[in-house]
Structure 1
Amino acid sequence: MNKPVYHAPHGGLPPQTDLLTDRAMVTEAYTVIPKGVLRDIVTSSFPFWNKTRAWIIARPIAGFATTFSQYIMEVSSGGGSDKPEPDPKVESVLFVMEGTLNLSIDGQQHELSPGGYAFLPPGCNWTVNNQADEAARFHWIRKKYEFVEGVEVPEAFVTNEQNVAPTVMPDTEGRWATTRFVDPADLRHDMHVTIVTLEPGAVIPFLETHVMEHGLYVLEGKGVYRLNQDWVEVEAGDFMWLRAFCPQACYAGGPAKFRYLLYKDVNRHAVLL
């Protein structure tokens, strides 16, 4: 398997001669944040993070997606945090796109290169820093863990997508596969963060309409997504944010594989208000 190359934002501003028209859109069912939106002036800084900036591409909003937040983090050389997570009830997934990230979990050291994946349970003692000369860019997905009496909290783990065999979806002739970092039958986990891969021309052949909320960041290639009643073209570096029950399907529309990082909430009862 060839090592994939992921698209990560680098900031900057477009020239003054560029048109304002872009593909960004916000609806009641979904939001599309194209890569051209991820510029310097829309970054955020966090307490106790040094030489770091973040693009916040999803956060809970009443009446929309409410279960998670998602950041693209850029940690410059010598940067990082000894107090990254302020909430002990929050679980996290880190996924590295560029550079090298040094992660410590309860004192155990890990070096994450592109494709590196870490699950960090609530209350986990972790730190991150960048000891390399180049910036590290990674996704940080956060969710408040839903504790269930009698169900243990899952342990932390670190891997790389190169070490996880994709699961081919049934009845697709190998054209659609999902890299699963967690066993779907493991009910300790209340969120899945996976990588979906579609071969050129492959299709999700029905409009998924379900309770799970989604964050979809396009890592490679390009495709066409059906979101609610709209057809939307997306490419590497774009982000889609879907609320529950937004009808969704897609096909891979380019000469290369279409791959995206997917968040969804799973394995818990619906909250009754």
Structure 2
Amino acid sequence: MTDRSYYAPTGGLPPQTQILTDRAMFTDAYAVIPKGTFSDIVTSFLPFWREARFWVIARPMSGFAETFSQYIAEVQPGGGSDRPEVDAGVQSVIFVVDGTVQLTLDGAAHDLAEGGYAYIPAGCDWSVKNVSDAPTRFHWIRKAYQSVDGLDRPEVIVTNEKDIAPTPMPDTDGAWATTRFVDPADMRHDMHVTIVTFQPGGVIPFAETHVMEHGLYVLEGKAVYRLNQDWVEVEAGDFMWLRAFCPQACYAGGPGPFRYLLYKDVNRHMPLAAGALPR
């Protein structure tokens, strides 16, 4: 595979002369957070992290997307955390979009460069450090793990997307493909984080409407995306947040590939509130 260039925010503030017209929107069915909103004043700090800040781009919200949170982390040289996760029941995925980061997982150190992926099971003892001389930026996706009696918890996975051949979607001649870090048939996993790639002119040829929630961060390229009843232009650096059953489709605009990092919840029964079923 060829080298990839992933969009990563760098912060700053727009000039006082900039007009306010933008593509940011939040609806009952979806949200679009365009790259222009990733300024200094919307970052967050987290306990037990040093020399680090976070753009929080998704969080559980009642009546909207409820299963996951997603951050873009920016860690300065020498920064990181020996206690990054404060909830032992939460699993994580790290995906590096700029620079390098050192992850230590159950005592084993791993250096992740751009395109590096790590699945961190719930209860894993882990830490993260920037041992380079430049800032590093990575996505951190978190989900409370839904254990099932009779299924073991998944193991640590550390890899790089450049080492995984994308799987073409059937009958698309390679115009639409998915890079899978986890075997879809592995029932131990209750979330998938993948990379979806469309070649110029590639499409989702129907309005997908399904129970999975989505977070889609555009790594590269541009497209026109169908979100519920609207067609929205998106480009590298934009984030789309879709609640369950939001209709979705897209046309990749070229001139290069359109690629996005995709979260979805999978492989579990739907939660039912106690006492909600008829007797």
How would you bin the TM-score normalised by the shorter chain? over 0.9
Letter in 1 for 2:112: L
Q: Which residue does 1:271 correspond to in 2?
A: 271
Once the two structures are TM-superposed, the CA of residue 260 in structure 1 deviates from its matched residue by 0.1
Q: 1:189 matched to which residue of 2? A: 189
The number of residues matched between the two structures is 273
Shift of 1:254: 2.1
Instruction: Give the letter for the 2:212 counterpart.
Output: M
- Post-superposition shift, 1:226? 0.4
2:145 maps to a residue whose letter is: Y
CA distance in 1 between counterparts of 2:122 and 2:107 reads: 16
Q: Aligned pair 1:141/2:134, yes or no? A: no
**Offset at residue 157 of structure 1 (A):** 1.3
Match of 2:81 in 1: 81
TM-score using structure 2 length? 0.97
SS, match of residue 216 in structure 2? strand
Query: What are the equivalent positions in structure 2 for 1:1-273 lying under 5 Å apart?
Result: 1-273=1-273
**CA offsets, 1:195-246, max 9 Å, x none?**
0000000000000000000000000000010000000000000000000000
Unaligned runs of 5+ in 1: none
Give me the whole-angstrom Cα distance separating, in 1, the residues matched to 2:269 and 2:126: 29
Write the deviation string for residues 85-129 of structure 1: whole angstroms up to 9, x where unpaired: 000000000000001100001110100000000000000000000
SS state at 1:86 partner: coil
3-state SS in 2 of match to 1:85: coil
Letter in 2 for 1:178: T
Point out 4+ residue stretches in structure 1 off by more than 3 angstroms. Answer: none
**Are 2:153 and 2:188, in contact at CA under 8 Å, matched by a contact in 1?**
yes
Seq. identity, %: 70
Task: Please give the secondary structure, in 2, of the residue aligned with 1:184.
Answer: coil
Q: 1:139-168: per-residue Cα shift (whole Å, max 9, x none)?
A: 000000000000010001100001111000
SS of residue paired to 2:193: strand
Maintained 8 Å contact 2:222/2:254: yes
Measure how far apart 1:251 and its partner are. Answer: 1.0
Q: Distance in 2 between matches of 1:205 and 1:171?
A: 11
Displacement after TM superposition at 1:30 (Å): 0.0
Counterparts of 1:125 and 1:224, CA distance in 2: 41
Instruction: Give deviations 1:5-24, integer Å, cap 9, x for gaps.
Output: 00000000011110011000
- Which amino acid letter does the alignment assign opposite residue 64 of structure 2? F
Separation in 1 of the partners of 2:85 and 2:3? 30
TM-score normalised by the chain length of structure 1: 1.00
**Alpha-carbon distance between aligned partners in 2 of 1:83 and 1:131, rounded to the nearest angstrom:** 17
CA distance in 2, matches of 1:254, 1:202: 9
Q: Tell me the CA shift for residue 26 of structure 1.
A: 0.3
Contact 2:69 2:143 (C-alpha < 8 Å) held by counterparts: yes
Distance 1:182 1:164 in 2: 11
Cα deviation for residue 29 of structure 1 reads 0.1
* Counterpart-to-counterpart distance in 1, 2:152 and 2:250: 36
Rounded Cα–Cα distance in structure 1 between residues aligned with 2:166 and 2:223:
20
2:12 maps to a residue whose letter is G
